[in-house]
Amino acid sequence: MRAVRKNIVLTESNDTIIIEGNHYFPPDSIKREYFQKSDKHTICSWKGEARYYHIAIADKVEENAAW
């Protein structure tokens, strides 16, 4: 499985976890140069805390686009 944005592979792994139809990638599989920390976080009673990241490609930033 891979996540692609604007023809750039942001992450790729054969070890994703699927929850409610969403693929969760292992943290060590992402290409960190495209991710910027966000102050946003949410809490789910059974999944725990989700920390968000902005996705930055070239001069465009998509705020809180990944968690």
Rounded mean pLDDT, 57-65: 95
Furthest CA-CA distance within the chain:
36
So what's the pLDDT on residue 8?
96
SS3 assignment, position 27: helix
Per-residue pLDDT tens over the stretch 5-42: 999 999 999 999 998 888 999 999 999 999 999 999 99
pLDDT value at 3 more than 90: yes
pLDDT value at 47 more than 90: no
Adjacent-strand bridge partners of 41: 51
So what's the pLDDT on residue 55?
97
> From CA 63, how far away is CA 38, in angstroms rounded?
8
Torsion of CA 36, 42, 48, 50, to 10 degrees: -10
What is this structure's pTM? 0.83
